[in-house]
Amino acid sequence: MKVLGHGPVSVPLVAMITGGDHWVTTRRNTPKSAWGMTDFSFMQAFILIMMCCVTLSDFLVQRFNLPPLLRFLPEVMSGISILWVLVAGTRERFQLVAPKYWVILFGLALVIACSVVNNNPGPGPLISGLRFYFRAAPFFLLPMVHPMTDIQLGRQLKLLLVLAFVQLPVAAYQRWVIFSADRVSGDDVRGTIMDSGVLSMFLICGALILTGMVLKRRIGVVRYAFVFLLLLFPTTINETKVTIVLVPLGLLVTLILGAERGRRLQYAGLTMAVLVLFGAIFVPIYNRFEEGQVNIIDFFTNEKTLDRYLVSQGGGKGVGLGGKKIAHRGESITIPTKYLAKDPVSLAFGLGLGNVSPSLSGKNFEGAYFKLFESVLTISFTFFLLEFGLLGVLLIGALNWMIFADSLSVSRRDHSLTGGLAAGWTGVVAVFAVSIFYNNFHFFVSITYLYWYFSGVICARREALRRGLVADSLSAEDAAIRA
């Protein structure tokens, strides 16, 4: 079968992309997988289990003293996913993997190879680095070799919403434990995500996906406002300051880029109303929990306080290579950059994959430079710069820019459920771009697996639109304007 001059395309692939329910549900026409099950049933169950696994496994292991090996379930699922990608990708000739992504992957492989040759990291740190950075990568390619229908995607998003709602009672209980112990800090309000900052990112991204759905009129305004505020409530009790930056940023990007022409002013009013209501809830609760400390408004309006939080510890005493004092975010950028700048090759390719990372599996897997840089390893950007070098950071930036561009394209051309996801995903990518300078989110499977999987869903849809495998589904307003 040929489609719009793009060469032969397999009928099963077209059926999956276009949501051919008869093809999906008819046992006689559904190809068997290597496991003896239909592609549909196995893959949908596999994705749903992955979503539960990455958001709940670490919490359950710690809370109920389960075998520590259960923490490696996401990696096991990645291994299965690699096999699936190779089998299904070979069968379908990776038709939905855009060439630009092969270029980026090849570039990253080349940078890693050069850094390994230049620095010769041991096998332990190299394995550890591959695990931290690339364990979620198979899930980026998975929807490109096995596209999801809107029915499947809808079930996945419903499960994602349930997992987000689970954070509310867990976070409330964790806050109660803190009060009972006469403690103040909300750092231990982590939900099942195991980190307060990453919990905030997870919930904010969920709220942005919801915003994308309201832009595509897949959820009512009143229900949207209620669920939006409910989703973000845990961010008010874990006292994550960055929430007051990420929420407006994500909403504005989603609104400006995802809303239909002629309706942006209407949605701008809705966004402002939701932000004002959220601020009216967030600020008093935050200040109440931080009683005796600088309140959140003064924090962001006091230049000296903000500088001390973002830029440096004040005087830099004890901060630096081998220092005991934990660096602030500005120092986490400047100190490693100055170190790498001494050697142009190291600046370009970094110090080697895994050579700066910590280890959860013993000293043999710990990076040779970890102790030297330990005090400045507070944000993901520092890890990326030190281990991939400047070229690697540029390639990672280019990869996320491509995902952003594909999300924008799908959002404007597709009015299906995937289009709603893509509209919200523009804000999600913006949140991740800022968060690279905020925390070490790349260590947390709870957010990296979901980010790369849903990015893959959107990128696969973009390539299907480009190849003409699915037709544009413009709104009436956009269609009229284009006509």
Residue ranges of domains in the chain: 11-303+383-482
Spatial CB neighbours of 157, under 8 Å, sequence gap ≥ 6: 209, 417, 421
The reported pTM is: 0.87
Using CA atoms in the order 15, 20, 21, 22, what is the torsion angle rounded to 10 degrees? Answer: -80
Overall average pLDDT of the 453-466 stretch: 96
What is the gyration radius of the CA atoms in the chain, in angstroms? 23
Helix axis angle for 417-435 and 380-413, nearest 10°, is: 160
Query: C-alpha 425: how far from its chain's center?
Result: 10
- On the question of pLDDT at 35 being above 50, the answer is no
Portion of the chain with pLDDT greater than 90, in percent: 57
pLDDT above 70 coverage of the chain, percent: 82
pLDDT in tens, 281-337: 888 877 777 655 667 776 666 666 666 666 655 444 445 677 667 777 888 999 999
**Rounded mean pLDDT of 341-349?**
95
Q: pLDDT confidence of 393, banded at 50, 70, 90? A: very high
* Range scoring the smallest mean pLDDT among 43-52, 89-98, 120-129, 279-288: 279-288
Of 266-275, 304-313, 418-427, 443-452, minimum mean pLDDT range: 304-313
Q: For residue 359, name the pLDDT band (cuts at 50, 70, 90).
A: confident
What's the pLDDT score for residue 271? 75
pLDDT confidence of residue 321: 74
- For residues 449-457, average pLDDT: 98
What span, in angstroms and rounded, lies between the C-alpha atoms of 452 and 457? 9
**pLDDT at site 305:** 66
Average pLDDT over residues 103-116: 95
pLDDT category at 469 given cuts 50, 70, 90 is confident
Mean pLDDT to the nearest integer, 192-205? 95
* More confident position, 325 or 144: 144
Please tell me the predicted confidence (pLDDT) of residue 3.
44
Local confidence band at 10 (pLDDT 50, 70, 90 cut-offs)? low
41/146 Cα distance (integer angstroms) = 12
